[in-house]
Amino acid sequence: MSLRRSYGAIALCLFSLSSYANEADIVIEIDSRSPTPVNEASPFSKVITREDIAQSGYQSLSEILAGSGLLHVSGASSGYNAGGSPDLRGFGERAAQNTLILLNGRPLNNATLEGPDLSTIPLNTISRVEILNASAGVLYGNGAVGGVVNIISDQTTKREHIESKFEAGSFGTAEFSSTISRSLQAGRHLYLAASAGTTDGYRDYTENSKSYGAMSYSLPFLDGNASFGLDQSRTDGYLSGVVADSALTANRRAFRSSSVQKKRSIRQTIWTKLEKMLETGDTLQVDAGRRLSGQEGRYLTGASINQLLRVNSLSPKVLGQTSLLSKSTDYVVGIDLSQSQYLTGTSNVRTQEISSLFGRAKLTVAEQLDTTLGARVTHDTNKLLNGATVDNEILAVELGLEKIVDDQTFSLRLDQSFRIATLDEQVTYPAPAFTATDTPIAPQKGNSVELGWKSSATQTTIYYLENNDEIYYDPASFTNTTVDKTRRYGASYGTDLNVTSSIKVSMSGSYTYAKYDDAAYDGSHVPSTSSYLGSLKFKKTISNQWSVGVLSRFQSAQYSINDWSNIYGKRNAHSVTNLNVSHTGKFFSSKLTIGNLFGKEYDSYHLRSGANLFRTPAEPRSLVFEISASL
């Protein structure tokens, strides 16, 4: 495809009228599923604020998460660079099943191998992103093996603003969005959002258009508060897929006909939430939602794509304070229910139903010393492709200690985690007939030890995670199966420095060791995992109006997907730097962002098919320009 006036779009502009909350007042829930001031949260949690997102210069949520320095984003085989799955603690191709992704506290993970599509969430609608860099089987249940990412949108934060945005840049990219969030009479609140965008894409067959709309409304109800909302995202266009290494070496925009898809993806969600103070002083919260995800289209070769997934969820919980063993205790107890219905083409409807009862208590056992006790009991029922029904029972427990000394917090956690095999993983096509066969897979179970420390500006964690019956795809047998034992251990570090009154620097990084300790691949590293990740953010305030920001991220080399024997060597180590220059005036503001400043060539996805290497190239240097007017 031709480059459609890559830099000529600079004249397009952004108009905004907005106000931002004081970040020091941020209250998060990812740490304990109950409101916690961010400065009182554990060393395992990290918050990416609205200001962080704006200053990064990144154009997708996947890039924002990769820039945290805590996780790798496992690229999408479809070739869509804004896609991919966040990977905490090195699960590679199965990242989407081992890192739990939440949107306003509701899971986006699927009962299929399809990962959450983060590209459908516009950046300007995100209030903050909370990351729990720890296993959390008791708090969150299925899939919270490597950790949890909770995306908090303006639908729930009630940030007063009216904002319209128009931006454009390289590869024929342009996007318009508008949001309004206003308090009404009698304690009511209304939120409306809409956006539409288009791009030619860097490669051939990557052009697409997308749209998004959302609304929410809240009002006082039964001495509490009730809110409801809905949102829809839609993407239409091409996905170029992977390309043979030799073809990309000759032309980085090349495509492979058998991989190209023309597809429409739609996600619709309707939800409601009730919060009420009980007579005991405790708080009752009830969250219910229904999500529909549909994909339809076909490959250039003619094969059709037709998938539909419906997910219903209900999560009532009670949180508050009580006395346990004569000790002051904060607690949360609740039920998590979900039902997934999955249809592909004209096949039978497959279902997965998961029900959990959980409880967690934090006791103050001595001055500035707390202990945490928790447990979750889970039952799941799977109806597979050919009608087989499989039931599983799972128990997870948690024990923790936390000591506060002056402005420092020391934490120790022992946690059990688990993940239930997806409906896609529980069907195989064995040779020679290659007929679909129901193949039940037992739940994967993990045990972890977590150590953490944080001060006012620095935090660090160390962990050890051992999984039994870890679920993975074995390319040698073309089946999804389990390996008896895997081991992971690692560490993370982050700090914020005020070098001078006008210069701020933030650094973060992580180390991950992920290996199989059993079966055919004993001693092999998990493919598509980087041992080292890092990020460096620099901001220079030149004046009250001008500032310059630089953000660099690094990931070390990896073995390609399917290279379980580690025989082809590691590849794709790279660092990427973004530069942005911002001007803020009384009425007009502007920002220029140069992505991939040094034009690094690297891959967002790479896999082996036998000895052959297939790749998806990442975008080269790009430019986005914004002009804003505040009224």
H helices of 324-443, in order, are none
- Rounded to the nearest integer, the mean pLDDT of the chain is 89
Q: Is residue 79 part of a domain?
A: yes
DSSP letters, 248-267, are HHH-TT---GGG-EEEEEEE
Q: Looking at residues 403-427, what average pLDDT do you find?
A: 95
CA–CA dist 535, 577 (Å, integer):
10
Whether pLDDT at 81 is above 70: no
pLDDT of residue 8: 36
| Reported pTM | 0.93
Q: Return d(Cα 554, Cα 286) in angstroms, integer.
A: 41
Q: Give the DSSP letter string of 133-174.
A: -S--HHHH-TT-SSEEEEEEEHHHH---EEEEEEEEETTTEE
**For 457-483, how does the pLDDT look when each residue is reduced to its tens digit (9 = 90+)?**
999 999 999 999 999 888 777 788 899
In a domain, 422, yes or no: yes
- Counts of helices then strands in the chain (DSSP H, E): 6, 37
Cα distance between residue 146 and residue 510, in whole Å: 13
Count the neighbouring beta carbons within 10 Å of the beta carbon of residue 56: 23
Within a domain: 300: yes
> 111 pLDDT exceeds 60?
yes
Question: Is residue 283 in a domain?
Answer: yes
> What CATH number is attached to the domain comprising 369?
2.40.170.20
Residue 161: CB atoms within 10 A of its CB come to: 16
pLDDT digits (tens, 9 = 90+) for 58-69: 888 988 998 898
Whether residue 21 is predicted with pLDDT greater than 70 in this model: the reply is no
In-domain check, residue 159: yes
Give the C-alpha separation, 484 to 94, whole Å: 16
**Most confident residue range from 82-91, 157-166, 365-374, 519-528:** 365-374
- How many C-beta neighbours within 10 Å does residue 284 have? 18
- Does any domain span residue 450? yes
- Domain membership of residue 413 (yes or no) is yes
- Euclidean distance between CA atoms 34 and 282, whole angstroms: 12
Total domain count, the chain: 1
Q: What is the pLDDT of residue 77?
A: 65
Share of the chain above pLDDT 70, in %: 94
DSSP state of 525: B
pLDDT, tens digit, 9 for 90 and up, residues 212-223:
999 999 999 888
Contact status, residue 297 vs residue 305, Cβ threshold 8 Å: yes
Cα–Cα distance between 172 and 246 in angstroms, integer? 27
Rounded CA-CA distance 180/193 in Å is 6
2: in domain: no
State the pLDDT confidence band at 267, using cuts at 50, 70 and 90. Answer: very high
Domain that holds residue 305: 8-248+262-629
How large is the average pLDDT for residues 518-528? 86
Q: Nearest CA to 213 among 225, 198, 195, 229? A: 195
